[in-house]
Amino acid sequence: MIQYLNIQGLASKSRIKRIEIKFDISSQLSLMDFLIKNGITVASSCAGEGRCRKCIVNENVLSCQINLKQFILNEVENTIEISYL
Ligand code: FES
């Protein structure tokens, strides 16, 4: 199981941060809230209601609509790519 996530900025072509995953405190969070809690800027104009599609990561994942735990179980790679970072 993934123990950490690398945040990769596509605009800057650099790794922004490596975040350790602590399931006891983070697993109930949406991926978007987890990223924000760890200092990563996530674009949004609908406050996480799933309408604006600005919070997309990894080309097609709405970060406000997926739980961190679901994301980790579904992903094979431990990298989150964010286009505008
Ligand atoms: S924050 Fe608007 S769709 Fe995710």
What does pTM read for this prediction?
A: 0.90
| Cβ neighbours for 37, distance < 8 A, ≥ 6 positions apart | 26, 29
| Cβ neighbours for 74, distance < 8 A, ≥ 6 positions apart | 66
Can you give the residue ranges of every domain in the chain? Answer: 4-82
CATH number of the domain located at residue range(s) 4-82 in this protein? 3.10.20
Ligand 1: distance of its center to the CA of 64 in Å? 6
- Show pLDDT as tens, one digit a residue, over the chain (85 residues): 668 899 999 999 999 999 998 766 556 889 999 999 999 999 999 999 999 999 999 999 999 999 988 888 887 788 999 999 9
| Ligand 1 atom with the shortest distance to the CA of 50 | 3
Which residues are registered as beta bridge partners of 5?
19
36, 40, 55, best to mutate for ligand 1 pocket (most atoms within 8 Å of CB): 55
Q: Is the CB of 66 under 6 A from ligand 1?
A: no
